C-alpha cells in the first residue's frame, strides 16, 4: 500500500500533479478535500500542493485553504504535521454537550446515533458548547466512544451565575450545571454587585488545561428569588435571542397602523364569512380563525391564517431576526416572541372586529371526513368572534344557557365544527395516528408571580376542534407541495428505533405484566394497540409515558419522509406563522406557487435543509427553556411544603435510585 502511494505521488510529481495537460481545475477548499479523499491517506502539506498541480508560488494559498478546512473540522491535523480527511480518519466534528457528571457527547448534527461519547478524562480542556474535533476510538451497541483532539471554537463567551465575593478575588458560579468551572472576577470588575446576586460575566481569558477562566461582570441581573430574574436566567442560559436589532426596530416604526388600500390587490374579500378564533383565555397572538358550513354532501372548512409574510420581507433585518429565533418561547409569566409585538399582537393578530390580511386554506370533505378538494388563496378577513376553549366547552358540552345566548348566532356553526372535528379525529385514529393520554400541567401564578397551584390542563372538544382543523390544513398544503413536486419545509417524524421498542417490550413484560410481541416492523397501529391494551388499567400512565420516550423528536426537513406519530404521508406546519418560522417559509412558498407554475424555487433544497436544521435546534432550545422555567417554579412551590406527604408514581428506575411523579401535581424528583 505504501509503495503504491509513493509511486502514485512520484508519477504525479513528474507530470505536475496531472495525468495529462488540460484546463486547470479551480483551486478551492472543496477541491482540496476532494483530492485528499480520493488519495485516502494522511498527507503532508507539500504532498497536497503536489496533488493540486500547483507550483511553490501557490503554497500560501493552499496552506490557507487547508487551515480553513481544519478550522471547519473537515480536515484534522495529525502527529507529524500530516493532514487527514475527518470522515476517513474516524474523526467527527461538532458541538460538545457536557453532562453535569463530567462526561460529554460530540453532536455530529446527523442524528443522535452518530454522536460520540467522550469520558471526562478525555475532554482535554474542552467545555460545554465548544466546537471540537474528536477521534472515534471504539464502537459498540450503545454507539461510538472517543476523545477530543482539539477545540475548533469556543462558543461560550459569557456566563450567567451567582456572584460569590472573596477577599482577593470573586467567583461567578454558573447557573448552567453543564459548565463545570467558575469564572474568576477581580474585585474591581464586579460592578459593585452584592454577594449572592445573579450576574452576567464576560470571559476574558481561557487558560490552558483545567484552570478556571477569568472575566469581568457586564450586568447585575438581581436577586435570585425574584421571578423576573429567574426568567432572565433561563433566557441567558439557553441563549434565547431576546433583543431585536436596531434595523428591525426601524422597520417596525415604519409599519402602517392597519390595512392600506394597496394591500387588498389580488385578495378575496371574505370579511362577511363568520370566521371565529378559539384560543386560551390569555392569548394575544391569534394566528388562526375557522369557519365551517355543512352541505348535503359533506362539509366546507375554511381556515384563515395570519399573512405574516406580507409584512416580513424575505432577507430583511426583521426576517433575519425571526429566523435567528425561529420560534416564540412561552413561560408562565412571560413570552419571548419570534416577531415584535407590533406584529404578533396587533397588525398580524386576527383580532375580533379588525380587518386583517390572511392566507386561506379551504377544504371540502365528504360525510366520512375524506378530503375531496382543497384550494388556497390570499384574502382580507374579519374575525366575527373571539372565543375561548373554556367558553366553547361550556356551550357544546355543558349547555351553558348564558353563553349560548351570548353567542347565539354562532351556535349552528359551533355544532357543525364539533361534528366535523369528531369525524376527522375518528378517521385519523383509524389510519393509525397515535394519541398519548398524558396529562399536561398548567401553572397558576399569584399576583406577585409566585406559583399558587399546578393543575391538569383542560382538554375538551374545543381543543379537538382546533387541533383537527389545523392538522387538516397542514396536510392539505403539504399534499399540494408533494403532488406538484415543489421544494418545501416539511414536518417529519421518523419511526422509533427497533432497539428502543425491544427495550420497551421487555420492560412492559417484566415490570407491568403486559404480554406484547416485538413487531417485525414498527408502525403507528402497533403503538395504538399497545396503548389500547393499557387503557383503563393501573399501568396506563406508565405505559403511555415510557412508550412516548421511545419516540424520536419531529424535525423540519425538505425531505418528506412522512410523520410517524400522525400516520400522515404529507405533513408540514402552515398554521402558526406568528410564532413559528417554518410556517412563514411555507407561506412564502405557497404564495409563489398558488396560481402559476414557478420555474425557480423560493428556496433551494440545500438552503431549506440548513434552515430546517436551525429551526429544529431552536425549537429544542425553546422547549428545554420552557421545561426549566417550569421546574424552577415547581422547586419554589415545593420549598413551601417540606415535610408533607404525597402519593406518587415511580416513573423511572436508575442505578442510583428512582424518580417519582407526585399524583395530580405534575412534579417529579429523585
CB atoms within 10 A of CB 77: 16
Question: If you average pLDDT over each of 19-33, 301-315, 638-652, which comes out highest?
Answer: 301-315
* Torsional sign, CA 558, 561, 563, 565: negative
Residue 16 has pLDDT above 60, yes or no: no
- Find the mean pLDDT for residues 220-235: 94
Where are the strands (E) in 431-538, listed by range?
A: 441-445, 451-456, 490-492
The ranges of the chain annotated as CATH 1.10.10 are 2-85
Q: So what's the pLDDT on residue 501?
A: 94
CA distances from 106 to 123, 132, 148, 228, 652 (A): 10, 8, 9, 33, 26
Write the DSSP string, 371-433. Answer: EEEEEEEEEEEEB-EEEEHHHHHHHHTS--HHHHHHTGGGHHHHHHHHHHHHHHHHHHHHHT-
Whole-prediction pTM: 0.84
Span 373-382, average pLDDT: 98
Give CA–CA dist 384/406, Å, rounded.
13
Give me the mean pLDDT over the 432-455 stretch.
Answer: 84
Residue 381, burial from CB neighbour count under 10 angstroms (0-12, 13-18, 19+): buried
Residues of the chain with CATH 2.40.50.140: 91-153
Q: Is the pLDDT of residue 4 over 50?
A: no
Architecture of domain 2-85: Orthogonal Bundle (1.10)
Write out pLDDT tens, residues 609-628.
999 999 999 999 999 999 99
Vertex 158: Cα angle to 150 and 224 (nearest 5): 135
Q: In whole angstroms, what is the distance from residue 215 CA to residue 207 CA?
A: 11
DSSP 329-384: EE-SS-EE-SS-HIIIIIISS--BTSEEEEEEEEEEEETT--EEEEEEEEEEEEB-
Q: How far apart are CA 48 and CA 177, in angstroms?
A: 44
How high is the mean pLDDT of the chain?
90
DSSP 485: T
CATH 2.40.50.700 intervals, the chain: 158-224
What is the mean pLDDT of the segment spanning 551-556?
A: 94
Half-sphere exposure of 284 (CA within 13 A, CB side): 14
Do 572 and 587 meet the contact criterion of CB atoms below 8 Å apart?
A: no
C-beta neighbour count of 500 within 10 angstroms: 15
Q: What is the pLDDT of residues 130-174, one digit of tens each?
A: 988 888 888 887 788 999 988 888 888 999 999 999 888 999 999
Per the document, the length of the chain is 670
Q: Which three cell numbers stand for residue 104?
A: 460529554
Per-residue confidence (pLDDT) for residue 25, from 0 to 100: 67
Domain 158-224 has CATH 2.40.50.700: yes
**Nearest CA to 35 among 69, 60, 2, 4?**
69
Q: Could you count the other beta carbons within 10 Å of the beta carbon of residue 225?
A: 10
Q: How many CB atoms lie within 10 A of CB 227?
A: 20
pLDDT (average), residues 655-660: 76
Look at 173 and 17; give whichever has higher pLDDT.
Answer: 173
Q: State yes or no: pLDDT of 2 exceeds 60.
A: no
* pLDDT digits 0-9 by tens, 183-196: 999 999 999 999 99
For residue 91, what pLDDT is reported? Answer: 82
Q: Which ranges in 205-286 belong to alpha helices (H)?
A: 227-237, 246-253
The Cα–Cα gap between 576 and 579 comes to: 6
Dig out the grid coordinates for 325 from the structure.
Answer: 429565533
CATH pick for 91-153 out of 3.30.420.40, 2.40.50.140, 3.30.70.1350, 3.40.50.300: 2.40.50.140
Name the pLDDT band for 34 (thresholds 50, 70, 90). very high
Instruction: Give yes or no for a contact between 215 and 203, defined as CB atoms under 8 angstroms apart.
Output: yes
Give the whole-angstrom CA distance, residue 200 versus residue 220.
6
Amino acid at each position: 500500500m505504501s509503495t503504491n502511494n509513493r509511486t502514485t505521488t512520484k508519477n504525479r510529481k513528474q507530470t505536475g500533479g496531472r495525468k495529462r495537460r488540460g484546463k486547470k481545475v479551480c483551486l478551492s477548499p472543496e477541491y482540496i478535500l476532494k483530492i485528499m479523499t480520493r488519495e485516502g491517506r494522511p498527507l503532508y502539506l507539500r504532498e497536497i500542493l503536489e496533488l493540486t498541480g500547483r507550483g511553490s508560488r501557490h503554497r500560501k494559498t493552499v496552506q490557507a485553504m487547508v487551515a480553513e478546512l481544519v478550522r471547519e473540522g473537515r480536515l484534522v491535523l495529525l502527529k507529524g504535521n500530516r493532514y487527514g480527511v475527518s470522515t476517513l480518519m474516524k474523526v467527527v466534528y461538532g458541538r460538545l454537550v457536557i453532562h453535569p457528571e463530567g462526561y460529554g457527547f460530540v453532536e455530529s448534527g446527523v442524528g443522535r446515533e452518530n454522536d460520540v461519547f467522550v469520558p471526562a478524562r478525555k475532554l482535554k480542556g474542552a467545555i460545554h458548547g465548544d466546537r471540537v474535533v474528536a477521534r472515534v476510538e471504539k464502537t459498540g451497541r450503545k454507539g461510538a466512544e472517543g476523545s477530543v483532539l482539539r477545540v475548533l471554537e469556543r462558543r461560550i463567551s459569557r456566563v450567567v451565575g451567582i456572584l460569590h465575593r472573596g477577599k482577593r478575588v470573586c467567583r461567578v458560579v454558573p447557573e448552567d450545571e453543564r459548565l463545570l468551572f467558575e469564572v474568576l472576577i477581580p474585585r474591581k470588575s464586579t460592578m459593585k454587585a452584592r454577594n449572592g446576586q445573579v450576574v452576567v460575566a464576560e470571559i476574558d481569558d481561557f487558560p490552558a488545561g483545567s484552570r478556571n477562566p477569568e472575566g469581568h461582570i457586564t450586568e447585575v441581573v438581581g436577586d435570585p428569588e425574584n421571578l423576573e430574574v429567574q426568567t432572565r436566567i433561563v433566557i441567558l442560559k439557553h441563549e434565547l435571542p431576546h433583543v431585536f436589532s436596531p434595523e428591525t426596530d426601524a422597520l417596525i416604526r415604519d409599519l402602517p397602523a392597519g390595512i392600506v388600500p394597496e394591500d387588498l390587490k389580488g385578495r378575496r374579500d371574505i370579511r362577511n364569512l363568520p370566521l371565529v378564533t378559539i384560543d386560551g383565555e390569555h392569548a394575544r397572538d391569534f394566528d388562526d380563525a375557522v369557519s365551517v358550513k355543512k352541505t348535503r354532501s359533506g362539509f366546507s372548512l375554511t381556515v384563515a391564517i395570519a399573512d405574516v409574510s406580507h409584512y416580513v420581507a424575505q432577507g430583511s433585518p426583521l426576517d433575519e431576526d425571526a429566523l435567528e429565533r425561529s420560534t416564540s418561547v412561552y413561560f408562565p409569566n412571560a413570552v419571548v416572541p419570534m416577531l415584535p409585538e407590533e406584529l404578533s399582537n396587533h397588525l398580524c393578530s386576527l383580532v375580533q372586529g379588525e380587518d386583517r390580511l390572511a392566507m386561506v386554506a379551504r377544504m371540502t370533505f365528504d360525510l366520512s371526513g375524506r378530503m375531496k378538494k382543497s384550494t388556497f388563496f390570499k384574502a382580507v378577513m374579519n374575525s366575527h368572534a373571539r372565543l375561548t376553549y373554556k367558553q366553547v366547552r361550556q356551550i357544546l358540552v355543558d349547555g351553558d344557557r348564558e353563553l349560548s345566548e351570548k353567542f347565539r348566532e354562532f351556535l349552528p356553526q359551533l355544532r357543525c365544527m364539533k361534528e366535523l372535528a369528531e369525524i376527522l379525529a375518528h378517521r385519523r385514529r383509524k389510519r393509525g395516528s397515535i394519541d398519548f393520554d398524558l396529562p399536561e400541567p398548567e401553572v397558576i401564578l399569584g399576583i406577585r408571580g409566585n406559583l399558587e397551584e399546578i393543575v391538569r390542563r383542560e382538554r375538551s372538544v374545543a381543543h379537538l376542534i382546533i387541533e383537527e382543523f389545523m392538522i387538516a390544513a397542514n396536510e392539505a398544503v403539504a399534499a399540494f407541495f408533494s403532488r406538484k413536486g415543489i421544494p418545501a419545509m416539511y414536518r417529519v417524524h421518523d419511526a422509533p428505533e427497533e432497539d428502543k421498542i425491544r427495550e420497551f417490550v421487555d420492560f412492559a413484560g417484566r415490570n407491568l405484566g403486559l404480554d406484547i410481541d416485538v413487531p417485525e416492523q414498527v408502525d403507528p397501529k402497533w403503538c395504538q394497540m399497545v396503548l389500547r391494551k393499557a387503557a383503563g388499567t393501573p399501568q396506563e400512565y406508565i405505559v403511555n409515558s415510557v412508550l412516548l420516550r421511545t419516540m424520536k423528536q419531529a424535525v423540519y426537513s425538505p425531505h418528506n419522509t412522512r410523520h410517524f406519530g400522525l400516520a400522515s404521508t404529507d405533513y408540514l406546519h402552515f398554521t402558526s406563522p406568528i410564532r413559528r418560522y417554518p410556517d412563514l417559509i411555507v407561506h412564502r412558498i405557497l404564495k409563489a406557487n398558488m396560481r402559476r407554475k414557478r420555474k425557480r424555487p423560493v428556496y433551494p433544497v440545500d438552503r431549506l435543509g440548513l434552515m430546517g436544521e436551525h429551526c429544529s435546534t431552536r425549537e429544542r432550545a425553546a422547549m428545554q427553556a420552557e421545561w426549566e422555567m417550569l421546574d424552577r417554579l415547581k422547586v419554589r412551590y415545593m420549598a413551601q411544603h417540606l415535610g408533607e406527604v404525597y402519593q406518587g408514581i415511580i416513573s423511572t428506575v436508575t442505578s442510583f435510585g428512582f424518580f417519582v411523579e407526585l399524583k395530580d401535581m405534575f412534579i417529579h424528583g429523585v
